[in-house]
């Protein structure tokens, strides 16, 4: 187990190493109090950095760019189709309204002259 404060090895079952425990003994804290550890004096080794990251080859970069271009083309095509469908519905609604009266518009408001 590693010390929560500095990252060095701690004894089994201990949360802090002996050095950190000695430093903390000088500044007692009430039992049950919440403490915030601001930084580590010695950082723990990062598992992700330990694994060697592979440099992307030009072929890999080209494949990624091609995938992104295909995705963008599909997205633009879909948005264009949706826009055309919306425009078609709008045109159909506007032309249909003038040909057939809508519900509730089967009357006229024109007044006839009085004799």
**String of DSSP letters for 92-112:** HHHHHHHHSPPTT--S--PPP
- What was the pLDDT predicted at 1? 75
d(CA 100, CA 3): 81
CA atoms in the 13 A half-sphere facing the CB of 41: 11
Residue 18 C-alpha from the chain's centroid: 42
Q: What is the CA radius of gyration of the chain?
A: 37
pTM for this structure?
A: 0.39
CA distance 12 to 32: 22
Task: Give the pLDDT confidence score for residue 30 in this predicted structure.
Answer: 82
In tens digits, the chain (115 residues) has pLDDT values of: 788 888 888 888 888 888 888 888 888 878 888 877 666 555 555 555 545 556 788 899 999 999 999 999 999 999 999 999 999 999 988 887 555 555 665 566 666 666 6
Domain boundaries, the chain: 1-46, 57-98
């Amino acid at each position: 187990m590693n010390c929560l404060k500095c990252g060095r090895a701690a004894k089994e079952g201990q949360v802090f190493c002996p050095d950190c425990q000695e430093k903390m003994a000088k500044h007692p804290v009430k039992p049950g109090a919440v403490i915030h550890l601001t930084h580590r004096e010695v950082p723990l080794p990062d598992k992700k950095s330990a694994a060697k990251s592979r440099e992307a080859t030009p072929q890999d970069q080209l494949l990624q760019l091609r995938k992104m271009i295909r995705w963008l083309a599909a997205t633009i095509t879909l948005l264009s189709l949706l826009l055309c469908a919306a425009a078609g519905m709008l045109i159909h609604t506007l032309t249909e309204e003038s040909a057939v009266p809508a519900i509730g518009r089967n009357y006229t408001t024109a007044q006839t002259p009085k004799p």
